[in-house]
Amino acid sequence: MSTATLSTGAPEPLTDRTVVGENLSLPLFRTLSGVLAGHPYLKVVVDRAENTWHLLDTAAHPFHVNYIATRVLGMDLAELDASLDEFNASVYMDPGRRFLLGVLSLHTEPGEEGRERTFLVLETTEADTMHGELLEFFYDFVRERVDGRLPLRLKPANHGQEEELAGVSEQRVPRVLSHELFGNRTRTPLNTGDATGRLRCFRTVEEYEAAAAGLGWSDIVAMPCLPDDVQRVAGFVNTAPITPLSHTNVLATGWGIPNAIVRDLDGLVEEDGLDGAWVRYRVREDEVTLERLDEAPELRAPAWHQQRIRLEPPLLEDSPVLSLHRLRSADRDRYGTKAANLGELHHVLDSRSADLTAFYGRPRPPREDLYGHLAARLGLRSPSAEELRAAATSFVADTVEAPDGVALPFSLQHRFLTSSPALQQGIGKLKMALELGADDVIDSLCLQLQHLVRHTPMPDSVAGEIARAFPAPLADGDRLVVRSSSNAEDLPGFSAAGLYDSVTTVRDAGELPDAVRQVWASLLSPRSVRLRHQVGISLDDTYMGVIVQAYVPAALGGVMVTCDPTRREDFRNVYLNCSPGSPEQVVEGAVLPQQYLYNTVEGGGRTVALGTWSEGLPAATRARLADLSLTGRLLQSHFSAPDVDEPLDIEWLLTGEGDFRLVQIRPYAL
């Protein structure tokens, strides 16, 4: 065993226990390994030129490339940093490379007679482009040097490696796919954070609803799948699988509270008596813990009790009903955020004048920028800045379309509300109750107001403008979609995900006024009123625009966020969920979607989970989703300016004709 002493600046030097050329036993693995995502892991480097391998001491060598450069090739870190991308290409992409870099991780699975069986998994980094023959060589080399009593399986790191191994029998190279290995994890972080509170466990939505009135800001709610209208509490615990892009996790993210999947919660509750107990709940990227406290802690009211969000004053003077393509982002104060963003998308796609490369221009030390990586993704060699910008805008315009439709302004809702004395009186009563803190009457006043909004006749002038939005009769089988577009959503600290209504079942133009009133009424639901009031959003300043669109059938639909929601520092990956049919199925939790990660820097993608589906998408469809993911990243440069690192939340669909349409763009709550 080779050892070395590393100078760390600390009083005691760090001993490097890295091993070169020795076979790997389980005790040696445990000596050298660290822990990642709850599993012990060990970095390995195979040196083909020397026909040996290096088992890296995890504590001493967190990065493969640093070890190879400094310990094997005699470089210093300054030299490595100066040529990092070229060096990475030589170890991750060169088909004739000298070094093969990988990770061995330790896992368990049920064995005979109920006993757990331990096995090792070998994988490369996600951006590695090893071809099939090299993957076979890598597996064989490691297999020969690992204790034969330990089963070893190869995990393809990306879709490209899966395809390379498709023609290799599993007897020849035993393997496990990522979603098979991690899809049934006992504990999965969804939104990181800490909370101390009382754990409240519910088995059904009915149980939750019966107790909801007694829940408060210091409770941690646990149940198989939390309802979209869950109230603001200290933390969420899901006991059944759910996607990080569900409405409830978007709420958890926006509220800054911990959320995780904890499948073994029933056992923890039974063993430690956690239901109703005070607990400390911690969610980290690689760990989820629930610790019972012996006594009630002293708690302070959360910061959001003092949170105050100010809205830009809405413009209520008469504005015309406009086609979406005539709107820009500045029109959010007249038509709402969703409508304005879709109008801005039309502008980006039609004018092709936006700079969509800014995200790649941000320094990522030691790199000055990522322009070279973007050029490679777009198939360019050494382009000028102007050529790169032109290629980026063309790529986006060729990949996606913006939806057609019309936007109804705030002024229509304002004219409707002021036309009815009963509505004005009801709004006045609700404002008074909010000001006085009369919690016992707020919900009933909201429900009465919603009923009035849905059934109060519209003034002729308002009804006429709505009718002109879609004057032609609908053909048999066609329908309209009526979506909310409020000024009280997609705000820093207040996402409003799932808070307002959309109506997707308008089969006749005569049904359009009722659908519009239903969307307007959702602005006055008890939950939306309470959540806005908690953060100081005034009822006087809150208005609802409406988007009306022809329904477009979707072969595939979903949501993507231009980040990895469970690893916030990851600037490479875009997280994408999808299922057959409309995007609403994903965000509403109607199905458990397929989940993918796509690397928008070096390229490549991998399957995270298959959800309720038995198999993944075809390779050609996954390649289209890679293009969609890169498009989302490029649009981030425009919609998140000036801070281009702020991710987007994008709903999309794939039509039967094979076209991508983006139906919503908004900031992703972080």
DSSP string, 341-356: HHHHHHHHHHH--S--
Last residue of a domain, one of 550, 577, 605: 550
CB 608 within 8 A of CB 178: yes
Q: What is the mean pLDDT of each run of 10 residues along the chain (670 residues)?
A: 40 76 96 85 97 96 95 95 94 96 91 82 94 97 96 96 94 92 81 94 94 92 91 93 86 89 92 92 91 90 76 92 96 96 97 94 94 96 96 98 96 97 97 93 96 96 89 79 93 82 88 95 95 91 95 91 88 93 65 92 93 89 97 97 92 94 87
Query: Angle at Cα 340 formed by Cα 653 and Cα 577, nearest 5°?
Result: 25
81 and 109 part of one domain = yes
Q: Where are the beta strands (DSSP E) in 457-565?
A: 480-486, 503-506, 544-550, 554-561
- Residue 362, classified by CB atoms within 10 Å of its CB into exposed (0-12), middle (13-18) or buried (19+), is middle
CATH code, 209: 3.50.30.10
Query: Which pLDDT does position 110 carry in this prediction?
Result: 81
Query: Angle at Cα 586 formed by Cα 584 and Cα 587, nearest 5°?
Result: 70
Distance of CA 74 to CAs 70, 78, 80, 82, Å?
5, 12, 10, 15
Query: Angle at Cα 591 formed by Cα 553 and Cα 607, nearest 5°?
Result: 95
Assigned domain for 648 exists: yes
Query: Which pLDDT does position 670 carry in this prediction?
Result: 54
Query: Which pLDDT does position 133 carry in this prediction?
Result: 96
Cα separation, 221 vs 327, whole angstroms: 41
In 10 A of CB 356, how many CB atoms? 27
504 and 604 part of one domain = no
Which secondary-structure segment (H or E) carries 335?
helix 332-335
Last residue of a domain, one of 287, 305, 323: 305
Alpha helix segments (H runs only) across 405-525 = 410-418, 421-436, 439-455, 460-469, 512-522
Pairing of strands 573-579, 480-486: unpaired
Assigned domain for 390 exists: no
Cα separation, 485 vs 488, whole angstroms: 9
Assigned domain for 133 exists: yes
577 and 537 part of one domain = no
What is the number of domains present in the chain? 4
Query: Which pLDDT does position 589 carry in this prediction?
Result: 60
558 and 541 part of one domain = no
546 and 564 part of one domain = no
Report which DSSP code applies to 286: T
Assigned domain for 321 exists: no
435 and 484 part of one domain = yes
201: alpha, beta or left, given left = phi > 0 and alpha = psi -120 to 50?
beta
85 and 152 part of one domain = yes
Alpha helix segments (H runs only) across 581-641 = 584-587, 619-639
Reported pTM: 0.89
User: Which two three-digit tokens encode residue 191?
Assistant: 């939104």
Angle in degrees, 0-180, between the axes of helices 619-639 and 337-351, rounded to the nearest 10: 100
Assigned domain for 202 exists: yes
24 and 122 part of one domain = yes
Q: Which domain holds residue 51?
A: 4-176
CATH code, 469: 3.30.1490.20
Cα separation, 152 vs 106, whole angstroms: 10
CB 154 within 8 A of CB 122: yes
Last residue of a domain, one of 176, 200, 223: 176
Query: Angle at Cα 280 formed by Cα 275 and Cα 285, nearest 5°?
Result: 115
Which secondary-structure segment (H or E) carries 167?
none
Assigned domain for 336 exists: no
Cα separation, 239 vs 225, whole angstroms: 7
Please state the three-class secondary structure of 414-444 as a single string: HHHHHCCHHHHHHHHHHHHHHHHCCHHHHHH
34 and 160 part of one domain = yes
Assigned domain for 120 exists: yes
Q: Would you call 131 helix, strand, or coil by DSSP?
A: coil
Q: Letter for the amino acid at 255? A: W
Cα separation, 564 vs 122, whole angstroms: 23
| CB burial string 519-544: b at 16+ within 10 A, e below | bbbbbbbbbbbbbbbbbebebeebbb
172 and 240 part of one domain = no
155 and 193 part of one domain = no
Assigned domain for 238 exists: yes
Peptide bond into 642 cis (omega under 30): yes
- DSSP string covering 336-391: -HHHHHHHHHHHHHHH--S---HHHHS-BTTBS-SHHHHHHHTT-SS--HHHHHHH
590 and 537 part of one domain = no
Nearest to 532 by CA among 546, 315, 541: 541
